[in-house]
Amino acid sequence: MTSNKKSRFARFPLLATALLAIGVIGSAHAEVPARFYWKSLTGGSAVPLIVESISGNANPFDPSHLVSDDANFDATLALAGYAQTFSLLDRPAMAAILFPMGRISGEARAVNGASVSQSASGFGDPTLELNVNIIGPKPQVDIPGAMRYEPGFSLDLLADLAVPIGEYDSKQSLNLGQNRWYGRIGAPMIMQLGAWVPGRRTTLELLPAVWLFGDNNDFVGRNLQTDPLLQIDAHLTRDFTANLWGSVDGSWYKGGKATIDGVAGSDRNDVTLGFTLGYTINSNIGLTASYRSTINDSAPGDMRMDSFMMTLVFGWHPLIEGFGRLKE
């Protein structure tokens, strides 16, 4: 009797796995993995590491995804960051900062129309994110609160801001930094479908958002303006076991017309489909692997991009770490 009870208790610090939900901020596609907005214990921290291999005809470091006709880029991208969960006005909240870095090379069309080889490497624009829940469970201020967490229907408000201090070479169109302020306002939603039991959790997650861009006054010597861009991400996720889950991912981008020195381009209207597998290694470490690709990309002006992405998130909470030390 006693031993059984102990074992059941011992499992509970595994609630810390929820910590792994935090910390992965926007990928180069301006998309986050499924289950990103699940809430966890307040006071938790996480360090995400994202590595992505991307090819296509738009700069993955630029969330407006300005398409260069006939261009062909290959990029290796890494992002590292830090995230913290807390309670704001008695609502669950998360703040994060993410630093993109990596290298990109490929054939791009120069402003004069010529095709040129370009490459860039270094750090991109760091991004700040604040996410505050509006509808849904109260903050998980203690472990009982974490134990009772079930998202039901939850709705957040999200604000991202990228700070234009990344590597930027005004002589070329391909850069890691974007030389302009930009950000996003969104409303992440989670709809719990069925039981909230590890091994059986199913969710439908939506992220409608609008990206807003400042002007880049030195885009190869010209002025680049970008209209607001609507983004809708959707994920249907399902546990396969208590630790293994998968999702079908889709996204739709609409708008974001670029204008260079008064010459307007066209709106984006592209759809991406993909899938993700996630695995929780232990109470601290979670891993995901994803692939996604644009599907309506046959015309020359369509955005064409596909990527493999691996994320590793290390999360921790002082209380959970203390439990871990006592168990040793």
Partner 1 sequence: MKTATLSVIAATMATLLCAPASAQAETPRKRPNIVVILGDDLGYADLGAFGSEIKTPNIDALARDGVRFTNFYTHASSSPTRSTLLTGIDTHRNGMGNMDEWIAPNQRGVDGYEGYLRPGIPTLPEVLKNAGYHTYMVGKWHMGKAPDLIPRARGFERDFSLLDGAGSYWDMTNFTAASPKSVFTEDGKYLSKLPDDYYATKTYTDKMISFIDANRADGKPFFAYVAHQAPHDPYHLPKDWRNRHVGEYDKGWDAVRQERLQRQIELGIQPAGTELSERMWFVPDPIVLAPISRAMMGKKMELYAGLVENLDHHVGRLVDHLKKIGEYDNTIFLVFGDNGAEGTDLFDMIAGSPGSRDYLFSAINWSQTHPNSWGDPGSYPAYGPMWAQVSMTPFSQYKGWMAEGGIRNGLIVSGPAVQRTKGSINHGVMHVADIMPTMMDIAGASYPRVGDDKKAPALMGKSWAPMLAGQSESPRTEQDYLAWEVFGNRAVRQGEWKIRWQYKPYGTESWELYNLANDPAERKNLAAANPDKVKAMTALWDRYVQENNVILPNRSPYETLEDVMPPRVPDDKAFPPLIYRKQFVPPQDMMADPKP
> What is the phi/psi pair of residue 103, to 5°?
-140, 150
Q: Which stretch binds partner 1 (CB under 8 A): 44-52, 99-107, 193-201, 298-306?
A: 193-201
For residue 126, the Cα-to-chain-centroid distance in whole angstroms is 13
CB of 41 to partner 1, least distance (A): 11
- Residue 148 interacts with partner 1 (CB under 8 A): yes or no: yes
Q: Which amino acid is at 211?
A: W
**Residue among 43, 137, 164, 198 that touches partner 1 (CB under 8 A):** 198
CB of 173 to partner 1, least distance (A): 51
Show contacts with partner 1 in window 217-246 (CB under 8 A): 242
Q: What is the C-alpha to C-alpha distance for residues 190 and 203, in angstroms, rounded to an integer? A: 7
Q: Which helix H or strand E contains 10, and what residues bound it?
A: helix 2-11
- Residue 144 interacts with partner 1 (CB under 8 A): yes or no: yes
Q: What is the C-alpha to C-alpha distance for residues 137 and 55, in angstroms, rounded to an integer? A: 40
- Residue 327 interacts with partner 1 (CB under 8 A): yes or no: no
Of 234, 313, 247, 285, give the one whose Cα is nearest residue 23: 313
x/- binding map, residues 10-49, to partner 1, per CB under 8 A?
Answer: -xx-------------------------------------
Q: What is the C-alpha to C-alpha distance for residues 95 and 164, in angstroms, rounded to an integer? A: 19
**Residue among 70, 199, 241, 282 that touches partner 1 (CB under 8 A):** 199
Helix/strand/coil for 284? coil
How much of the chain is helix, strand and coil, in % rounded to 5?
10, 55, 35
Q: Which amino acid is at 26?
A: G
Q: Which helix H or strand E contains 101, and what residues bound it?
A: strand 91-109
Q: Which stretch binds partner 1 (CB under 8 A): 79-87, 112-120, 144-152, 300-308?
A: 144-152
Q: Which stretch binds partner 1 (CB under 8 A): 58-66, 106-114, 156-164, 197-205?
A: 197-205
- Residue 197 interacts with partner 1 (CB under 8 A): yes or no: yes
By beta-carbon proximity to partner 1, the closer residue of 221 and 322 is: 322
Q: What is the C-alpha to C-alpha distance for residues 182 and 164, in angstroms, rounded to an integer? A: 8
**Residue among 123, 196, 291, 314 that touches partner 1 (CB under 8 A):** 196
Interacting residues with partner 1 (CB under 8 A) = 1, 3-5, 8-9, 11-12, 142-144, 147-148, 150, 195-200, 242
